[in-house]
Amino acid sequence: MSDFFTVSVLVATLASGIRLATPFLLSALGETIGQRAGVLNLGVEGVMLIGAYAAYITALRTGSVVAGVIAAMAAGAAMGIVYAFITVVMHATQGISGIGIFLFGLGFTDLLFRHQVGTPVPIDGLRGLDMGGLSELPVVGELFFQHSVLTYVAFALVPVVWFAMNRTTFGLNVRAVGETPEAADTLGVRVNVVRTQAIIIGNVMAGLAGGTLALDVGIFQQNLTSGQGFIAVALVYFGAWRSSGVMAGALLFGVVSSTVLQLKTLGIIVGANSTIAAMAPAILTIVVLVLVSRRIGAPSALTVPFERDN
């Protein structure tokens, strides 16, 4: 165990925690926007898988990481349109529809992967930025200045989402339709349009989160996301529907995941123990959800479809 508590290992663990937090953060921020508008999407996991596959296959075929990122976001947008149609237009129950989206994403990406790729071929994935002197600083450099551009994008989105929610008319509309859609409607806010926009933005971010994951590991496989999308939904509750809270949760889960990996790498936990340790994020999710089960700050109209009773 003493192997773990050395400066170099701790720094490496924290640095990889920040990296692993990226997909959590992107998908949870997106889910926050959707939920603030009153729409729960349990299908984040499925959208992430589709985004991951889109990024992987595009990068594989074109050799371009940038094209992969764009493909992931486009796939997310397409899923957003589907989910908005199901829940906003057709008023389907959101919990069940989201699980449907997850199952679709899981099965569909596996099918495409077998059909189009077959045996896994690694791709040239994301590389950490080289910021010259900054990246070479001891400790600080490894912690903060060697990440991929998408990690910086994800963390930059935290204040951006806050600003959009609290300082723009779009954010005002989103908060109103998630809380009291009838009131927004009587003032001429088009509730279902706002919700559709929020869903699509959230799904683009979920697709990007999946793309980040695939480009980060440079490979695709069945169930690549392994529950991260569900954890992202939990993080929204953990973060009390605020971008800063969501960021804290994403970092917590990123660091827990990287710690487990590090302990395995160092051979501190082996065999059956490592299987149990791999469950740490899942157990943490449950603990966190029990602790924050009071739903303080939850949008009142979350999961409630809107229809003028004409």
The one among 70, 78, 106, 179 contacting another protein by CB under 8 A: 179
Tell me if 239 contacts another protein by CB under 8 A: no
Taking CA atoms, 46 is separated from 41, 76, 97, 211, in Å, by: 10, 10, 11, 12
Q: Which stretch binds another protein (CB under 8 A): 9-17, 22-30, 87-95, 179-187?
A: 179-187
Rounded to an integer, what distance in angstroms lies between the CA atom of residue 259 and that of residue 255?
6
The one among 92, 106, 189, 248 contacting another protein by CB under 8 A: 189
Tell me if 188 contacts another protein by CB under 8 A: yes
* Residue 4 or 163 with smaller CB distance to another protein: 163
Residue identified by tokens 């490979």 is: 219
* Residue 106 or 164 with smaller CB distance to another protein: 164
Q: Which of residues 9-38 bind another protein (CB under 8 A)?
A: none
The one among 176, 201, 231, 277 contacting another protein by CB under 8 A: 176
* Residue 130 or 182 with smaller CB distance to another protein: 182
Q: How many residues does the chain have?
A: 310
The three-state (H, E, C) secondary structure of 206-242, written as one string:
HHHHHHHHHHHHCCCCCCCCCCHHHHHHHHHHHCCCC
Q: How far is the CB of 152 from another protein (least distance, A)?
A: 25
Tell me if 265 contacts another protein by CB under 8 A: no
Number of residues forming the site for another protein (CB under 8 A): 22
Q: Which of residues 113-172 bind another protein (CB under 8 A)?
A: 167-172
What backbone torsions phi and psi does residue 222 show, to the nearest 5 degrees? -60, 135
CB-based contacts of 109, cutoff 8 Å, min separation 6: 49, 50, 52, 53, 220, 222
What backbone torsions phi and psi does residue 35 show, to the nearest 5 degrees? -70, -35
* Residue 178 or 254 with smaller CB distance to another protein: 178
Taking CA atoms, 26 is separated from 205, 210, 221, in Å, by: 6, 9, 21
The one among 147, 175, 195, 242 contacting another protein by CB under 8 A: 175
Q: Which stretch binds another protein (CB under 8 A): 14-22, 118-126, 129-137, 187-195?
A: 187-195
SS3 180: coil
What backbone torsions phi and psi does residue 216 show, to the nearest 5 degrees? -70, -45
Q: How far is the CB of 160 from another protein (least distance, A)?
A: 14
Per CB under 8 A, residues contacting another protein are 167-173, 175-176, 179-180, 182-189, 300, 308, 310
